[in-house]
């Protein structure tokens, strides 16, 4: 009999891919906004009592930082209280909870190195504050809970799965439409192929409880990464005019979202460095890329 895996936010970019990838091995219970309101504590408790999943992968979130700033009550309801409701229900059911947190927790970092899970970073926006509070509440309720701080992710559009305007899609559109994309030069971060995140979810279920940076390392700016990936897509043809440097974003002080994943590696899990991750993604999808760029 297959183990049950519950995926919240299963209609979203990451959740839809996790559900699709693991459905052959697990009995996947997919929930979206129309299936389960995670802000309803009673409904969440009853749902988990009935389904009794071995693991709950919480991808449900209001993930747009701007939306959270404009509507902090909504962010608090979903990103904080909804997560706490799941943690309480997992405590009762004995389910393992994996919470998808964010590298936005590091948005206030002034460090000149990749950020560690133990660094004390000022929380400068609503989204990061609620994600950090959710991590803390989870670990109070569930010392064995797993909080995974994810980076910006990318993937090709896949039929039947939620797409997004991620970096790879933006660069492909730039080439197809011959229309330049603007990327910030003062924004330093790792960017991760979502399929690497998906494949690492199962081994992450065996991690000791705690917070983990969970994505590709990278110290290049978004602009530098964009130029390098464009070179791969153009097969080294010089098309750098399609990536414009945005000098205005974060001009008051560079943003450092880069993560050190040494803690994760110490438990046997790893991610390729950002540019290497793009190389891996494109190598695994050559026919798709050639069709788009033909």
Active site residues: 127
Which tokens belong to 197? Answer: 């995140």
DSSP secondary structure, the chain, as one string: -PPEEEEETTTSHHHHHHHHHHTTTSEEEEE-TTT--TT-HHHHHHHHHHH--SEEEE------HHHHHH-HHHHIIIIIIIHHHHHHHHHHHT-EEEEEEEGGGGTT---SSPBPTT------SHHHHHHHHHHHHHHHH-TT-EEEEE-EEE----TTS-----HHHHHHHHHHHT--EEEESSEE--EEEHHHHHHHHHHHTTSPSEEEE-S----SBHHHHHHHHHHHHTTT---GGGEEEE-STTTTS-EE--B--HHHHTTT-----HHHHHHHHHHT-HHHHHHHH-
Please list the residues that pair with 147 across neighbouring strands. 99, 211
236/135 Cα distance (integer angstroms): 43
42 vs 9, 243, 267, CA distance in Å?
Answer: 18, 49, 36
In the block, tokens 């000098």 appear at 247
The residue with tokens 């709950």 is: 56
Q: Distance between CA atoms of 294 and 289, rounded to whole angstroms? A: 8
């Amino acid at each position: 009999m297959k183990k049950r895996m519950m995926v919240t936010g299963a209609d979203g970019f990451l959740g839809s891919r996790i559900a699709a990838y693991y459905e052959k091995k697990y009995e996947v219970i997919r929930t979206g906004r129309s299936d389960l309101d995670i802000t309803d504590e009673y409904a969440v408790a009853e749902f988990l009592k009935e389904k009794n999943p071995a693991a709950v992968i919480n991808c449900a979130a209001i993930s747009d930082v701007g939306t959270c700033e404009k509507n902090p009550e909504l962010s608090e309801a979903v990103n904080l209280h909804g997560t706490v409701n799941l943690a309480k229900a997992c405590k009762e059911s004995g389910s393992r909870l994996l919470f998808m947190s964010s590298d936005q927790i590091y948005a206030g970092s002034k460090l000149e190195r990749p950020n560690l899970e133990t660094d004390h970073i000022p929380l400068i926006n609503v989204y990061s504050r609620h994600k950090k509070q959710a991590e803390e509440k989870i670990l109070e309720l569930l010392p064995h809970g797993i909080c995974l701080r994810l980076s910006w992710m990318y993937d090709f559009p896949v039929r039947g799965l939620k797409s997004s305007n991620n970096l790879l899609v933006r660069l492909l559109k730039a080439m197809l439409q011959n229309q330049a994309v603007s990327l910030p030069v003062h924004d330093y971060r790792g960017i991760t192929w979502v399929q690497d995140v998906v494949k690492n979810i199962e081994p992450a279920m065996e991690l000791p409880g705690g917070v983990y940076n969970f994505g590709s390392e990278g110290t290049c700016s978004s602009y530098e990464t964009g130029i390098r990936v464009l070179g791969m897509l153009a097969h080294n043809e010089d098309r750098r005019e399609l990536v414009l440097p945005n000098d205005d974003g974060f001009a008051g002080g560079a943003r450092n979202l880069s993560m050190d994943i040494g803690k994760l590696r110490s438990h046997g899990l790893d991610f390729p460095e950002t540019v290497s991750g793009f190389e891996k993604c494109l190598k695994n999808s050559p026919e798709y890329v050639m069709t788009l760029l033909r």
